[in-house]
């Protein structure tokens, strides 16, 4: 990544207010946040932008977050992009499924604190950058 270049985050979410909130939080921390309303738009945006990170809601009409995630991981061009699931589905089984079976990079339950969002995004990106340095 070039010096001074903003890290790009695509936020796939069906609630415009949530996209606005995430943009507000992460823009202040030096990220460029691109909102995508819904799963189909989200996939198109991710393939076009090739972001450093994806924030992905699970419960969306037309195409849910797991369908988006599966398509991302099946596509060589997007398979390496880290994904943080952001969802109101806070039950333990969903967290286990997300982290261990589907291998998402992290999981944030709504409602979340501003600091939690920033910390999780930083953690996942640092781990990804450390992993790239090792290869």
Enclosing domain of residue 52: 7-130
Q: What is the pLDDT of residues 36-52, one digit of tens each?
A: 999 999 999 999 999 99
Residue 32 to residue 112: CA distance in whole angstroms: 20
Domain membership flag for residue 2: no
Domain of residue 58, CATH code: 3.40.50.2300
Residues 110/101, Cβ–Cβ less than 8 Å:
no
Has residue 110 been placed in a domain?
yes
- For residue 125, being part of any structural domain is answered with yes
Omega within 30 of 0 (cis) for the link into 15: no
**What mean pLDDT comes out for the span 24-30?**
95
Number of domains in the chain: 1
Residue 84: pLDDT above 70?
yes
């Amino acid at each position: 990544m070039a010096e001074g270049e903003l890290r790009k985050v695509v936020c796939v979410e069906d609630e415009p207010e949530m996209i606005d909130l995430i943009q507000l939080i992460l823009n202040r921390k030096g990220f460029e946040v691109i909102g995508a309303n819904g799963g189909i738009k989200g996939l198109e945006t991710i393939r076009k932008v090739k972001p450093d990170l994806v924030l992905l809601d699970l419960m969306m009409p037309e195409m849910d977050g797991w369908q988006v995630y599966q398509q991302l991981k099946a596509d060589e061009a997007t398979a390496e992009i880290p994904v943080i699931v952001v969802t109101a589905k806070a039950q333990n089984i969903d967290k286990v499924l997300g982290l261990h079976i589907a291998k998402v990079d992290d999981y944030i339950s709504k409602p979340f604190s501003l600091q939690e969002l920033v910390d999780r995004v930083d953690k996942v990106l640092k781990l990804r950058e450390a992993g790239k340095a090792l290869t």
